[in-house]
Amino acid sequence: MQISELSDRSGLTVQTIKFYIREELLPRGTAAGATRAEYGAGHLERLRLIRALREVGDLPVAAIRRILAAMENDGVGLHELFGTTQHAIGPHVAVPDDPHWRAARQDVDALVRELGWQVGQRAPARDLLARAFVALRRLGFPITLTDLRPYVRAAADMAEHEIGRIVRDGPRARSVQAMLVSTVLYEQVLTALHRLAQEDAAARHFDEN
Amino acid sequence: MQISELSDRSGLTVQTIKFYIREELLPRGTAAGATRAEYGAGHLERLRLIRALREVGDLPVAAIRRILAAMENDGVGLHELFGTTQHAIGPHVAVPDDPHWRAARQDVDALVRELGWQVGQRAPARDLLARAFVALRRLGFPITLTDLRPYVRAAADMAEHEIGRIVRDGPRARSVQAMLVSTVLYEQVLTALHRLAQEDAAARHFDEN
């Protein structure tokens, strides 16, 4: 197909597609004359993935390039590919040099060890959790392992369900999409359901009539 | 205490405190001379709550004013106060006028009805969930009630735990803080734990050596 059809079918402008080619996120089409290039189903598939990473994951071009490079390198296993994707998604919390933060980060590391979870030392989620711990303590809501238990259990159940759903032997582009969806979109689903459930629980606990 | 001590103890600048007084988020101090005013423990408590709402909830002044008004009105029950707080926190999703969105929003409403949850028709979380449904479908990940079940269960368990922890007869300022913490900070805790659990599940499922 020509670039105009690729644009129609991907929902992206010709200008955006040319930008992705220049940035080497998308391979060039096959030359089909002096000024025309021919694009295939692979291009369309790739554009859909890039669009998902940009719109759903809100990822900058450099992060998308890292994910695509890992995806195309068959030496990179799915576990590493997942780590690369999560690392690209972030969020990358600014780490202040202060004792409260260091204590919280040590608590996070101890928790992960105690749970026996296999998580890279540089996973952005460690800092994310430490930041929440600092904020909770500052407001006078100390956190104990007992407080965390329902959250740990829920997180582990959902993760098992999500990762189990990712097909190991399918196309790697589809696996990356599934990882993105599990991390970003199902988190939104969970957040929304959590708030709805809170409102319902508040109605039941607080309404005295 | 004088305003300089109030500033030291709250960690907010004198300028910020004066701004809150002008915006009527904080009552004036008691006049103690021509140019001096005296502030009490109530002022300090109120400043801590405002600071939490701003820094943790990322709330604008207008939203904080609505929450404080509901908090000070004894005719507003805890359930309504919770709804006001959640509504102020948002996020308020831009609602596009398109059929995919309308279908997703109807699915959300049907889900809430089916679960028998007591949730206001205008709760921002309904739109948040609809937006995630639209994005999932666009990427070719249809959602069924079966897919949602683990999330619904986790959300309900956590909400029950959180709302049950809020003391019904304590100071209302503390209840608002606890609501804020449950909604915003424990959501960050959950998100971080979810990502850590995913990385662990990926290690177990995908590493073949």
pLDDT band for B209, please (50, 70, 90 cuts).
very low
Q: Is residue A98 part of a domain?
A: yes
Out of A117-126, A143-152, B118-127, which region has the weakest mean confidence (pLDDT)? A143-152
User: Do A133 and A183 reside in the same domain of the chain?
Assistant: yes
Interchain pair B207, A77: CB under 8 A: yes
Instruction: Please count the structural domains in chain A.
Output: 2
ipTM of the complex model: 0.87
- A96 and A153 part of one domain: yes
Structure confidence at residue B208 (pLDDT): 61
**Is residue B73 included in any domain, yes or no?**
no
Percent of chain B with pLDDT over 70: 99
**Given this model, what pLDDT does residue A25 score?**
94
Mutation site for A-interface testing, chosen from B195, B205, B208 by largest number of A Cβ within 10 Å: B195
Which pLDDT score, from 0 to 100, does residue B40 have?
92
Q: Point out the least confidently predicted range of A53-57, A198-202, B5-9, B194-198.
A: A53-57
Express each pLDDT in B64-99 by its tens digit: 999 999 999 989 988 888 888 888 887 788 888 889
The CATH number linked to A39 is: 1.10.1660.10
Residue B85 distance to chain A (closest CA, Å): 11
Residue A26 lies in a domain: yes
Residues of chain A with Cβ-Cβ distance to B170 below 8 Å are none
**Whether residue A94 is found in the same domain as residue A172:** yes
Distance of alpha carbon B165 from alpha carbon A142, whole angstroms = 13
How far CA A154 is from CA of A149, B27, B185, B195, B199, in Å, comes to 9, 43, 16, 12, 15
CB crowding B120-154: b at 16 or more within 10 Å, else e: eeebbbbbbbbbbbbbbeebebebeeebbebbbeb
Same-domain check for residues A16 and A111: no
Q: Which of A118-127, A178-187, B87-96, B176-185 has the highest mean pLDDT?
A: A118-127
In this structure, are B115 and B193 located in the same domain? Answer: yes
Cα–Cα distance, A177 to B139 (Å, whole number): 8
Same domain, A115 and A187: yes
pLDDT, position A208: 61
Instruction: Kindly report, residue by residue over A87-138, the tens digit of the pLDDT.
Output: 888 778 888 888 999 999 999 999 999 999 999 898 999 999 999 999 888 8
> How much is the pLDDT for A167?
77
Q: Answer yes or no: do B206 and A78 touch at CB < 8 A.
A: yes
Query: Tokens at residue A63, please?
Result: 């992060």
| Average pLDDT score over chain B | 89
Predicted confidence at residue A12, as pLDDT, reads 92
User: What share of chain B has pLDDT > 90, as a percent?
Assistant: 46
Averaged pLDDT for residues B119-138:
91
Are the C-beta atoms of residues A127 and A112 closer than 8 Å to each other? no
A177, A196, A206 ranked by CB distance to B168: nearest: A206
Beta-carbon separation of A197 and B117 below 8 A: yes
Same domain flag for A135 and A191: yes
Torsion angle in degrees (nearest 10) through CA of B10, A102, B192, A51: 100
Give a yes or no: residue A29 inside a domain: yes
Residues A95 and A197 in one domain: yes
Q: Are the C-beta atoms of residues B72 and B45 closer than 8 Å to each other?
A: no
One domain for residues A102 and A146: yes
Range of the domain at B19: 3-55
Q: Which of A181, A149, A189, A190 is nearest to A162 (CA)?
A: A181
Q: Which residues of B touch A52 (CB under 8 A)?
A: 139
- Global confidence as pTM: 0.85
Return the H-helix or E-strand segment holding A169: none
Mean pLDDT across A138-164: 88
Distance in Å, alpha carbon of B34 to nearest chain A alpha carbon? 35
Q: For residue A60, tell me if it sits in a domain.
A: no
A111 and A195 share one domain: yes
Residue B115 lies in a domain: yes
* Cβ neighbours for A143, distance < 8 A, ≥ 6 positions apart: A107, A133, A136, A137, B189
Distance from the B155 Cα atom to the nearest Cα atom in chain A, whole angstroms: 4
Residues A99 and A167 in one domain: yes
Shared domain check, A195 and A114: yes
Among residues A191, A189, A186, the alpha carbon closest in space to that of A89 is found at: A186
* Mean pLDDT of chain A, nearest integer: 89
